[in-house]
C-alpha cells in the first residue's frame, strides 16, 4: 500500500486490515491500465472504518495477449538497471569475499528500474549466481561484488551482470572487530610482571606476555585473515608511579588496518620494583660473610689504597667465593673514604661493599682485621730509635748543648739512628718532632751532647722517647781550667786560661776566675779536703757551664748588673726612716734622677728579662725586688698626676726612659700590650701628647695588676718552690694558674724567713751585697710580714 505521496504505508500496531470487492456499479474496472476499485476495511478494538481504494498493476488487455517468451525476457532484463541488497539482508554483515553461492538468493536482493523497485512479470523466475572466477570482481574495500542476474521462463533464459554494493567494507569489518575487544591485560606467565612501564620495549609487547579480552571478559581470537600487533603508544605515557602503560593494538586485514589504544595495568610500580630489587640485593649481600685480601697487612689500614681494592674477595659462610649474579655488579670502597685515619685507630680496615642492579644499590660494611693500629705502629717505630746525631750542615754544631732552645729543635738538624747504628727511616704517616724538657734534660757541654725528647705522632696519638743527641760544641777550655783548679786546689792564684774559645767574650773570665775563691770562702772546712773541694767544684762548674751556655754573656752581665742596681736603689730609699711606700712626696724632686739612673744602667735598648737569670738570685732578693717594684708603681702613679710632659720634640725621649725605668719587666709587658710595639719598632716622634698620657695610664695599671703574678712566676718556675700565700692565690685563679708548671700542686711550701737567713750568706757571681743591706731587711721583718700579707 502506498500513501498519497507515493511512500509505503505501515500499519500501526493493534490495527487490522481486510479487503473486499465493491459493488459492481462502483468497481470502475479499467482493463487497459489494469486497475479496479476495492473496499479497504480498517479495524481497531471492535471499531471499524471502510474506504474505497484503487488496486493497480493488474494485467492489462495487451499483457493478456500471448507474446514471444524470448522477447519478453529480453524486455524484462532490459528494464533492470540496478541490483541492491535489501536493508533486511544479512549479507550486509558479510564481506563481499565471504559471499557464498548459497547466499545468492532473491530474498536478499532488490531489483531496480530507473530508481524504482521493479517487479518482474508473472511467470518469470529470478535467480542469482556468481561469475566465473576469472570474471569475479570482489571488492572488500568498497563492499561490492559482481553477480549474475538470471531470468527464466519455461525453457528460455536471459542473464545480465551487475555490481552489487552494500556488503561490509574492510574498514567496517575492522571497526566491528575492534568493538569486540574491551581490554588488554598481562598474561598469566607474562615476563612483564617484573618490569616498570618505562622499561618496557616494543619487543616485549607480544601475545605471550599480553592477553586480549572481549567485552564478555573471554579471550579474544581474531577473525580469519585478521592479524594483530601491539606497540607502545606514540606518546608512550608510561606511569611508573601507578604501574600502567598506554599500548596501541593494531588489527590488519587485506592491507587495511585500525588502531585502538588500551591501558595495560598491573605492571610493577617504581616503588614495587625498587623494593623487589632491594630485597633481592639484600638477600645477596647477606650471603657475604667476610671480605679477604691477599695483600700484606703489616702496615696501617690507611696504607691500603685504591689500587689495593682489586685484591678484595667476597666470601660466603662456607668460605667459598661469593658468585655475583649476571645482572648484578659488585664494587668495593673505603667506609671512611674522607678520613682514612679513622681505620688506623684500631688497625681495622672498614670496607664498604656495594651490590647494584638497575641503579638500586645495597651496601654493607665489613671489617678486615690484622692490620697494625696507630698505637702498635708508633710503639714499634719509637723502639727502633736509639739515638740521634746532628746533621752535617746543622748550625747547632757551632753552639754548646746548653745553648740549645726549643726553636732549634727542627727536623733538619737531626739524624735518627737505630741500635745497630743504621739510620732510621720513618713512614710517611708518622710526623717527627723534638722537644726539650727543662726539668729532666741532661746537658753535657764537655762531650757536646744533650738529651732531648723525640716524638712520633699520627693524628692525635703519639709516642715519646728520651734520646741522646751528640755533635754539639764542646767546652774544652773550661774543662781544662777545672782540671787545673782541681790540681792546684789549695792555691788562690789561678793561671788565666786561653780565652780565645769563649766566643770572643773576655768578660766571662771575670766571673769564671772567682769560682774557686767563692767555694773556699763559703766552705772553709774544705780547705784541706781535696775530695770535698772537687765535689763542690764539679757541682758549681756544671751549673756555671749550663748558665753561661744558655745566653750571651754580655746580656748576662748587663742583666745581673741591672738587677743589682734595682736592689741597691731599694735599700737606699728604704734606709730613710721617714719614708713610707705610699708617700713619696719627699722624693718628688728625685723622680727624674731615678729615671735617669735607670737610663744609664740600660746602656743599650733591649729586652733584659730572662727567667733563667733569676735562678741565680735567692728568694729573699726576689721579694726585695718585688717591694721595689711596688715602690716604682707608686712613683709612676705620682708622675701620672703631674704635668711633666713637655710640648716639644723630646717627649718621645721621656717615653723611652719610662720604658727603661720598668726594666727588667719590660719584656713581660710587651707580650701583653701590643700598643708598645709601634713605639719601639718605629722612629716616630714627637708622640701625640694625649696618646702618651693614655698609654702611661694603661701601662701603670697593667704594672700594678700583674706585678704579683710576675714575681710568683719567677719564683715557681725557676726555684721550684712556693710560698703558701702565692700557692693559694694561684690555685684560686685558673687564668693565673695556666702559666705555671703543671706540678705546682706538688711544690714544696717554703718559709720566707728561712730563705732570708740563707740570703745573708749568699755570694753573687758578679757582686756581693753588704751585710748592712741584709741587716736592714732582717731588722724590718715587720715590713716583709706586711708585704707577704698584701701579696
Cβ(661)–Cβ(632) below 8 Å: yes
Q: Which of 187-191, 202-206, 291-295, 692-696 has the lowest mean pLDDT?
A: 692-696
* Per-residue pLDDT band at 37 (split at 50, 70, 90): confident
Phi, psi of 442 (to 5 degrees): -115, 115
- Candidates 693, 723, 720, 690; CA nearest to 708 is 723
pTM of the predicted protein model: 0.39
pLDDT digits (tens, 9 = 90+) for 273-295: 888 899 999 999 999 999 988 77
Q: What is the pLDDT of residue 746?
A: 56
**Nearest of 239, 96, 119 to residue 170 by alpha carbon:** 96
Bridge-based pairing of strands 387-390 and 181-186 is unpaired
pLDDT tens digits, one per residue of 496-516 = 444 444 443 344 455 556 667
Residue 702 pLDDT > 70: no
For the ranges 32-41, 223-232, 240-249, 598-607, which has the lowest average pLDDT? Answer: 598-607
Residue 28, Ramachandran bin (φ over 0: left; ψ between -120 and 50: alpha; else beta): left
Most confident of 451-455, 648-652, 731-735: 451-455
Q: What's residue 128's pLDDT?
A: 92
Length of the chain: 791
Residue 547, classed as helix, strand or coil, is helix
User: What does R_g of the chain's alpha carbons equal in angstroms?
Assistant: 64
- Dihedral (CA of 410, 415, 419, 423) sign: positive
Lowest model confidence (mean pLDDT) among 308-322, 460-474, 751-765: 751-765
Residue 265's nearest CA partner among 178, 202, 192, 203 is: 192
Conformational region of residue 755, where left means phi above 0, alpha means psi within -120 to 50, and beta covers everything else: alpha
* In the predicted structure, residue 230 carries a pLDDT above the cut 80: yes
C-alpha span between 647 and 650 (Å, rounded): 8
pLDDT at 628 > cutoff 50: no
Between 450 and 296, whose confidence is greater? 450
For the chain, count helices (H), then strands (E).
22, 28
Q: How far apart are alpha carbons 489 and 483 in whole angstroms?
A: 10
SS3 sequence of 307-362: HHHHHEEEEECCCCECCCCCCCEEEEEECCCCCCHHHHHHCCEEEEEEEEECCEEE
> Using CA atoms, how far apart are residues 385 and 418, in angstroms rounded to an integer?
5
User: 698 vs 678, which has greater pLDDT?
Assistant: 698
Cell matching residue 351: 670496607
β-bridge mates for residue 314, sequence order: 291
Residue 315 · residue 295 · CB < 8 Å: no
Looking at the chain, the whole-number percentage of residues with pLDDT higher than 90 is 21
- pLDDT, one tens digit per residue, over 349-370 is 899 999 999 889 999 999 988 7
Per DSSP, 261 falls in state: E
296 confidence band (pLDDT: 50, 70, 90)? low
How many Å apart are CA 214 and CA 730, to the nearest integer?
A: 99
What residue spans define the domains of the chain?
Answer: 1-65, 69-168, 172-268, 271-372, 375-470, 484-550, 553-790
pLDDT 10s digits, 528-552: 787 887 787 777 666 555 544 444 4
The rounded distance, in Å, linking the Cα atoms of 196 and 179 is 29
Q: 454 with 432: CB under 8 angstroms?
A: yes
**pLDDT grade for 172, boundaries at 50, 70 and 90:** very high
Q: Which residue has the higher pLDDT, 652 or 113?
A: 113
Non-local CB neighbours of 653 within 8 Å, separated by 6+ positions: none
Q: Picking from 31-45, 323-337, 576-590, which range would have the lowest pLDDT averaged per residue? A: 576-590
Tell me what the pLDDT averaged over the chain comes to. 70
Is the bond preceding residue 686 a cis peptide, omega within 30 degrees?
yes
Most confident range, picked from 331-335, 522-526, 615-619, 702-706: 331-335
Examine the pLDDT at 344 and tell me if it is beyond 90: no
Amino acid at each position: 500500500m502506498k500513501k498519497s505521496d507515493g511512500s509505503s504505508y505501515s500499519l500501526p500496531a493493534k490495527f487490522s486490515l481486510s479487503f473486499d470487492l465493491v459493488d459492481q456499479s462502483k468497481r470502475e474496472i479499467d482493463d487497459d491500465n489494469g486497475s479496479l476499485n476495492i473496499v479497504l476495511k480498517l479495524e481497531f478494538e471492535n471499531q471499524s472504518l471502510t474506504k474505497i481504494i484503487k488496486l493497480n498493476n493488474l494485467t492489462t488487455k495487451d499483457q493478456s495477449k500471448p507474446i514471444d517468451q524470448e522477447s519478453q525476457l529480453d524486455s524484462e532484463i532490459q528494464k533492470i538497471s540496478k541490483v541492491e541488497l535489501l536493508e533486511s539482508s544479512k549479507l550486509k554483515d558479510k564481506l563481499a569475499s565471504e559471499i557464498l553461492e548459497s547466499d545468492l538468493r532473491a530474498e536478499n536482493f532488490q531489483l531496480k528500474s530507473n530508481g524504482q523497485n521493479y517487479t518482474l512479470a508473472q511467470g518469470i523466475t529470478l535467480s542469482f549466481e556468481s561469475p566465473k572466477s576469472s570474471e569475479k570482481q570482489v571488492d572488500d574495500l568498497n563492499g561490492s561484488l559482481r553477480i549474475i542476474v538470471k531470468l527464466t521462463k519455461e525453457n528460455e533464459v536471459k542473464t545480465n551482470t551487475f555490481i552489487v554494493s552494500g556488503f561490509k567494507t574492510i574498514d567496517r569489518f575492522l571497526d566491528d572487530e575492534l568493538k569486540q575487544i574491551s581490554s588488554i591485560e598481562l598474561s598469566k606467565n607474562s615476563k612483564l610482571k617484573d618490569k616498570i612501564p618505562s622499561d618496557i620495549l616494543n619487543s616485549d609487547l607480544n601475545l605471550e606476555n599480553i592477553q586480549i579480552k572481549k567485552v564478555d571478559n573471554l579471550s579474544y581470537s581474531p577473525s580469519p585473515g585478521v592479524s594483530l600487533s601491539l606497540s607502545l603508544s606514540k606518546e608512550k605515557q608510561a606511569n611508573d608511579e601507578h604501574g600502567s602503560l598506554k599500548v596501541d593494538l593494531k588489527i590488519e586485514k587485506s592491507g587495511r588496518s585500525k588502531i585502538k589504544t588500551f591501558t595495560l595495568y598491573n605492571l610493577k610500580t617504581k616503588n614495587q620494583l625498587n623494593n623487589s630489587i632491594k630485597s633481592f640485593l639484600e638477600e645477596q649481600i647477606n650471603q657475604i660473610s667476610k671480605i679477604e685480601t691477599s695483600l700484606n697487612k703489616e702496615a696501617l689500614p690507611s696504607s691500603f689504597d685504591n689500587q689495593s681494592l682489586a685484591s678484595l674477595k667476597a666470601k660466603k659462610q662456607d668460605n667459598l667465593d661469593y658468585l655475583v649474579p649476571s645482572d648484578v655488579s659488585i664494587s668495593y670502597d673505603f667506609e671512611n673514604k674522607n678520613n682514612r685515619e679513622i681505620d688506623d685507630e684500631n688497625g681495622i680496615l672498614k670496607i664498604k661493599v656495594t651490590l647494584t642492579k638497575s641503579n638500586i644499590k645495597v651496601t654493607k660494611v665489613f671489617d678486615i682485621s690484622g692490620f697494625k693500629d696507630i698505637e702498635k705502629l708508633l710503639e714499634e717505630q719509637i723502639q727502633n730509635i736509639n739515638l740521634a746525631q746532628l746533621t752535617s750542615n746543622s748550625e747547632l754544631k757551632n753552639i754548646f748543648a746548653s745553648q740549645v732552645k726549643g726553636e732549634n729543635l727542627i727536623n733538619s738538624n737531626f739524624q735518627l739512628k737505630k741500635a745497630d747504628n743504621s739510620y732510621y727511616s720513618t713512614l710517611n704517616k708518622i710526623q717527627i718532632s723534638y722537644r726539650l724538657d727543662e726539668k729532666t734534660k741532661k746537658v753535657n757541654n764537655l762531650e757536646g751532647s744533650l738529651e732531648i725528647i723525640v716524638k712520633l705522632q699520627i693524628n692525635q696519638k703519639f709516642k715519646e722517647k728520651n734520646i741522646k743527641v751528640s755533635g754539639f760544641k764542646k767546652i774544652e777550655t773550661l774543662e781544662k781550667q777545672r782540671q787545673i783548679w782541681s790540681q792546684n786546689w789549695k792555691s788562690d792564684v789561678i793561671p788565666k786560661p786561653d780565652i780565645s774559645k769563649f766566643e770572643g767574650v773576655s768578660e766571662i773570665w771575670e766571673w769564671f776566675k772567682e769560682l774557686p775563691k767563692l767555694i773556699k770562702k763559703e766552705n772553709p772546712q774544705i780547705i784541706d779536703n781535696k775530695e770535698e773541694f772537687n765535689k763542690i767544684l764539679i757541682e758549681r762548674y756544671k751549673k756555671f757551664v749550663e748558665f753561661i751556655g744558655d745566653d750571651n754573656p754580655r746580656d748576662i752581665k748587663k742583666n745581673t748588673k741591672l738587677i743589682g742596681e734595682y736592689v741597691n736603689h731599694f735599700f737606699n730609699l728604704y734606709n730613710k726612716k721617714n719614708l713610707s711606700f705610699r708617700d713619696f712626696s719627699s722624693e718628688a724632686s728625685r723622680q727624674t734622677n731615678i729615671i735617669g739612673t735607670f737610663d744609664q744602667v740600660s746602656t743599650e735598648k733591649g729586652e733584659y728579662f730572662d727567667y733563667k737569670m733569676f735562678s741565680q738570685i735567692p728568694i729573699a732578693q726576689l721579694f726585695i725586688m718585688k717591694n721595689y717594684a711596688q715602690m716604682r708603681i707608686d712613683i709612676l702613679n705620682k708622675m701620672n698626676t703631674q704635668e711633666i710632659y713637655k710640648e716639644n720634640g723630646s717627649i718621645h725621649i721621656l717615653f723611652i726612659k719610662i720604658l727603661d725605668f720598668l726594666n727588667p719587666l719590660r719584656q713581660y709587658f710587651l707580650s701583653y700590650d701590643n700598643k708598645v710595639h709601634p713605639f719601639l719598632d718605629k722612629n716616630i716622634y714627637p708622640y701625640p701628647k694625649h696618646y702618651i698620657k693614655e698609654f702611661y695610664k694603661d701601662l701603670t695599671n697593667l704594672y700594678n695588676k700583674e706585678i704579683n703574678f710576675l714575681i710568683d712566676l719567677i719564683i715557681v718556675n725557676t726555684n721550684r718552690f712556693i710560698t703558701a700565700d702565692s700557692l693559694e692565690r694561684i690555685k684560686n685563679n685558673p687564668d693565673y694558674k695556666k702559666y705555671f708548671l703543671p706540678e705546682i700542686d706538688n711544690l714544696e711550701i717554703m718559709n720566707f724567713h728561712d730563705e732570708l737567713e740563707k740570703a745573708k750568706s749568699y755570694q753573687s757571681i758578679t757582686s756581693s751585697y753588704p751585710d748592712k743591706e741584709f741587716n736592714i731587711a732582717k731588722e724590718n721583718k715587720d715590713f716583709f710580714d706586711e708585704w707577704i700579707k698584701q701579696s
